Amino acid sequence: MEHSLGVHTKFANAILALYPLFPVPVYFSVLTGAPPLWVSLIIAVIPIVVYFCQTHHIVARTPFDTPILIFILGTVIGFIVSPDKNVATGAFSSTMASILVYYGITANSGASRKYWMWTGGIICFISLLLSLWFLSQGSHRILSFNQWAFNLFDRLPKIGGPAIQWNTIGALLAVLIPPLFVFVFFKTLYSLQIIVLILCLFFTGVLFLSDSGAGWLSFALSLGFILVCWRRWLLWVLIPIAGIISGVGIICYDQTKWLRTTFFTASLIGRVTLWQNTFALLKGKTVILGLGLGAWFKVYSSHYGSSVPIIVHNSYLQLYCDAGILGFIAMILAVIIFIRFSINILKLNAASSVFWIGIGLISSFIAGAVFAIFDVTTSITYVTKTGYIYLVLPLLWIEAALFVVVNKRLSLKSEKLEGLDGIKIIYE
C-alpha cells in the first residue's frame, strides 16, 4: 500500500513538474485545428485536478491574482460582445492557456535549481528554433548589413507555414537577451556561462540582422538599465552617449538608406493614424466593454476598408479593445504590483544572485513594455482564406510567472517580503 502511494505521489509530482507544458496543445488547436480544442482543454486542466488533490487549492496563490481575476472577467465580457464567436473562442482558449502556463510555473516555485535550469534551457531552445526559422523562412527586410545572412540561409528549402516577421522576432529577442546578458556577467556558474554567452551573442546578432527598430530601441533601454544597476555612475555616461547617437542619427537620416528603412517615419505616422481611428471606434458602450475579444481586425476593416493592417500596432490599445476597461484596470494594478516588487529587488545587496536574477527580469519587462508601444506583443493575428485566427501568446505570462518565482524565493529566504501598504505577503 505504501509502495502504491509512493508511485502515485511520484506520478503526481511529475505531472506538476510538467504543468506549464500541459496547456501547449491548446495553441496548436487554435492555430491548426489539431488536436480538437475540447481534447486540448481537457489535457490543460489535468494538472489543476492533480494540484487540487495535493493542496486542496485550485492554483497557487500569487501577488497578481486580483488583476488576473479582473482580466478574466474583462475577457469573458469581450467574448460575449465579440461579433465573431469563432475567433473569440480561439482567443479565449489561448488566453486561458496562457494563464494556466503562468500558474503552472508559479506552482513549481519551490523546485530545485536544476528544474529552473531546464526551464531556462527550454525557453532558449524554443527561441533558438524560432530565430533559425526567421533567418530561413521568415519575412525579411533586405539591407546592406544583413543581406549576406539571409542569402546564406536562403539556400535552405522553404517548407511553408506562418512566416515570422522582423518585428515578431525583434520583440522576442529584445525581452530574452537582457536576462541572458545578466546571467553571463553576474552569475558564478562558469560551466554554463560559455554556453549562455554563445546564445547571447547569437540572439543579439539575430536581433541586429532582423532590422527591427523597435527591438533595437527596447534592447538598448533594457541594457542601459542593467548597466546603471551595475554601476550607478554610468547613468551620466549613457545619457550623453544616447544624445550623441540620436543626434548623429538625425543628421545622417536622409543620407543613410538603412536608417530611413529601419526608422521609417511614414510607418510611425501610419501607426498614429491607426491609433486615432481605433480611439474613434471606442465610443458609447465600447468605451466600457471594448470592441470584443479578437475583434479589432474585423471591426476596424469594416469601417476603414479591407486593405488595413491586421494588428493595431500597440499592445495596450489591443488589450483595451479585447477586454475593455476591466482589462485596462487589471493592467494598471499589475503594473503597480510589479513596481512595488521591483523596488524590493533593487534594495537588495548587489552581490546577491537574487538581485541580478531580478534585475534581468525587470530589464526584460522594460524591453517588452517599450516594444509594446509600437507593436502587439501579446497576440498574433493570422489571416487565412476564410477569415483570420487570433492567438494569445504566453510570453508576458511566462515573464510574470518567473518574476513571481524570484520574489517568492526571496521571501522564503528572508522569511518575509514587504508588499503593498507594508503588509507581509504570505504565499501558499
Average pLDDT value for residue range 369-395: 90
The whole-number pLDDT of residue 10 equals 84
Residue 416 has pLDDT above 70, yes or no: no
Residues 313-329: what's their mean pLDDT?
95
pLDDT band at 318 (very low <50, low <70, confident <90, very high): very high
- Measured in degrees and rounded to the nearest 5, phi and psi for residue 423 equal -90, 135
Predicted confidence at residue 218, as pLDDT, reads 95
Complete DSSP assignment for 263-303: T-HHHHHHHHHHHHHHHHH--TTHHHH-S-TT-HHHHHHHH
Q: What pLDDT score was predicted for residue 417?
A: 37
What is the chain's length? 428
Selection from 228, 220, 226 nearest residue 246 by Cα: 220
Percent of the chain at pLDDT > 90 equals 55
| pLDDT tens string 1-35 | 444 444 468 888 899 999 999 999 999 999 988 89
Q: What is the mean pLDDT of the chain?
A: 87
pLDDT of residue 187: 63
C-alpha–C-alpha distance, residues 399 and 268, integer Å: 27
Task: Average the pLDDT over 134-155 and give the result.
Answer: 84
pLDDT higher than threshold 70 for residue 45: yes
Rounded Cα distance between 166 and 303, Å, is 28
pLDDT, tens digit, for every residue of 256-304?
888 888 887 888 888 899 999 999 999 888 899 999 999 999 999 888 8
Q: Mean pLDDT highest for which of 135-144, 209-218, 385-394?
A: 209-218
254: DSSP letter: T
User: For residue 382, what is the DSSP state?
Assistant: E
Q: Mind listing the pLDDT tens digit for each residue in 161-209?
A: 667 888 899 999 999 999 998 888 776 556 678 888 899 999 999 999 9
